[in-house]
Amino acid sequence: MKKDILTTLKEPELTDNALFVLKKRYLKDGETTKDLFWRVARNIAQVDMKYKNHVGNTAIEFYNIMASLEFLPNSPTLLNAGRGLQQLSACFVLPIEDSLDSLFTTLKNAVNIQSAGGGTGFNFSRIRPAGDFVGNIPNTAAGPIHYIETYDTALNRIMQGRKRHGANIGILNIDHPNILDFIELKSTDGRLKNFNISVGVTDEFMKRVLEKKNHVLVNPRNKDITKRISAEQLFNKMAENAWKTGDPGIIFLDAIQRANPTPKLADIEATNPCGEQPLLSYESCNLGSINLAKMVKCNKSCTIDWEKLKSTVYTAVHFLDNVIDVNKYPLIEIEKMTLGNRKIGLGVMGFADMLFKLGIAYNSKQGEKTAEKVMKFVSQQAILSSQELAKDRGVFPNFHQSIYKTKRRNATTTTIAPTGSISIIAGCSSGIEPIFSLVTEAMVLFDRDHKGSRMVMINRHFEEELKKQGLFSKELMTEVAEKGGIQHLDLPSKLKEAFVTSHDVSPEWHVKIQAAFQKYTDNAVSKTVNFPNNATVEDVKKVYILAWKLGCKGTTIYRDGSKSEQTLFKGGNNDQKN
């Protein structure tokens, strides 16, 4: 029966790079890409039996949007759906209290989550500072940094032999007494291989930076003020270290909390490792992304196919809601919280490719308006889809403790993820990022020693447009590979306006595009603000302030060449260092 169905299904059209990633990371022995998408589709569709829907039709619908590369779920779903493990969520947040029991229980739980392919977020701000009292004994407490390093060492050990690395984020709030040491935690290259770090920043702190006022550091054990420090000095230190190494990132805690759909349950204190998914403690979320490059129709000119986008959103929301029910959760507490809120995170990828097709510059008012228009539409349709599901399936159980008045199935519906691996499978640009280079070397498939394989990727929309205009040549491609972009080449101005790369886009435009998507995203937006190697610390500070003012929920910057390891390189120019 399975073979009969498979013969009628569309064959996935995948690039060589996509096949390489799938074979190395996702396919089990003897499995084809067609088998993979059908395995996932059939497994997720079985939930429809609970609601007396036709499972076979749903499975085919799910298969088609994946095989056509119009939508892909997060990696754990592709890896584990229909297999024994059945752990399908990408994002988890675990609580950390100021006790050894809490610290090591959470570490044990993180090991279980990571061994199943999930990423974990932690806020270490409740831990008393280093050198504080333990009982009546002074100068005894190890402090949060010690435990972050303990977590990093322990979680690194469980990655041996696995196909996919787990990921972590450690957050420390701006008022913690050990915040200066935390800011410099990754100033030594190679330290904390398995942790991103971010500072949890408040609106009050940012105002004090701008007003050049002092900021207080507070012991979380007894709420005593331990120090008064210049807010500007602390802010400068954050920018200096981010300029140097890319860490720490910033999370804007108040912006996240203002968007908390269930504030009566608890405050949100942490996010997943890439920052796009704020979650309550013991909460998890499954993500998926629509390929915007597939949402464009072209005749004499190209326009956005709104009907196709609407249909894809509805199917994707249905898919992601099903994932919640068929998922196997690593802890009872996670199952209870996740089923209580039923958060999903539908996002987009291929935004830069969409703009290429439309002939719109990423770093332009039109590019910004397109970002807003697309995400507003995706958000509206996702909410409508969630409301339709609620009519048949009921509201999420914590609905009556939420901010909503209209019944809906899911506490959140939208998230913009980085889509590193799934965008390679889809053959599109990652997330909402501009392309890094028109000819890119991507470092993928890191092993436990953090060694990886490189793949060369040429943007096909650029190649197609050159051929269309009769400009394509191997010599030109070699020159583009050496420079990474075309802004200094003798090519038509309209071509150069449309085909910009991340380093052609000013940091301010990176933030404006992030803010445009954030405006219509329930959760948060994963976005890196790329800086050229010669950028200054002042440039970084300006971006932090702009991101806060525009309502972003966090920001991450990366100055080209500031780390010995990076995942993307401009073709022929991969040896920059600070």
**To which residue do tokens 């060369």 refer?**
456
155: helix, strand or coil:
helix
Classify each residue of 454-469 as buried b or exposed e, where b means 16 or more C-beta atoms within 10 Å of its C-beta. ebebebebbeebbeee
Minimum mean pLDDT range among 13-22, 162-171, 312-321, 477-486: 162-171
Q: Would you call 369 helix, strand, or coil by DSSP? A: helix
**Cα 509 to the chain's mean position, in Å?**
19
Sequence-separated (6 or more) residues with CB below 8 Å from residue 312 = 65, 70, 71, 290, 295
pLDDT at 576: 41
Which residue has better confidence, 29 or 78?
78
pLDDT tens per residue across span 186-245: 998 778 988 999 999 999 999 999 999 999 999 999 999 999 999 999 999 999 999 999
pLDDT at 17 over 70: yes
* Helix, strand, coil distribution of the chain in percent, nearest 5: 45, 15, 40
pLDDT at 239: 98
CB of 90 closer than 8 Å to CB of 119? yes
Q: Kindly tell me if the per-residue pLDDT of 445 is higher than 60.
A: no
**542-566 mean pLDDT:** 91
**pLDDT in the model for residue 452:** 56
- What confidence score (pLDDT) does residue 157 get? 78
- The catalytic position among 156, 272, 286, 530 is 272
Mean pLDDT, all residues of the chain: 92
- Write out pLDDT tens, residues 491-503: 999 999 999 999 8
| CA–CA distance, 274 with 285 (Å, rounded to integer) | 13
pLDDT for position 59: 97
The pLDDT assigned to 255 comes to 98
Q: At 570, is the pLDDT very low, low, confident or very high (cuts 50, 70, 90)?
A: low
Q: What is the pLDDT of residues 110-151, one digit of tens each?
A: 999 988 888 999 999 999 999 999 988 888 999 999 999 999
Res 577: pLDDT? 41
How far, CA to CA in Å, does 403 sit from each of 260, 269, 338, 412? 8, 18, 17, 11
In the annotation, is 464 catalytic?
no
Q: Tell me the torsion sign for CA atoms 200, 502, 382, 88.
A: negative
Q: How far is CA 507 from CA 440, 511, 531, 547, in A?
A: 20, 6, 7, 10
C-beta of residue 22 within 8 angstroms of C-beta of residue 36? yes
Phi, psi of 210 (to 5 degrees): -70, -30
Residue pair 5/45 in contact (Cβ under 8 Å)? The answer is no
C-alpha angle with apex 67: 61 to 70, nearest 5 degrees? Answer: 80
Structural domains of the chain in order of their starting residue, each with its CATH number: 91-271 (3.20.70.20)
What Rg do the C-alpha atoms of the chain give, in angstroms?
23
Amino acid (1-letter code) at residue 291: N
Asked if the model's pLDDT at residue 567 lies above 70, the reply is no
Question: What is the Cα–Cα distance from 310 to 306, expressed in whole angstroms?
Answer: 6
The active-site residue, picked from 70, 276, 433, 441, is 276
Q: Which residue in 74, 156, 196, 274 is the catalytic one?
A: 274
Whether 274 is catalytic is yes
| Residue 345 CB partners (closer than 8 Å, separation 6+) | 91, 276, 277, 285, 286, 287, 288, 320, 412, 413, 414, 415, 417, 522, 523
- pLDDT computed for residue 138 by the predictor: 86
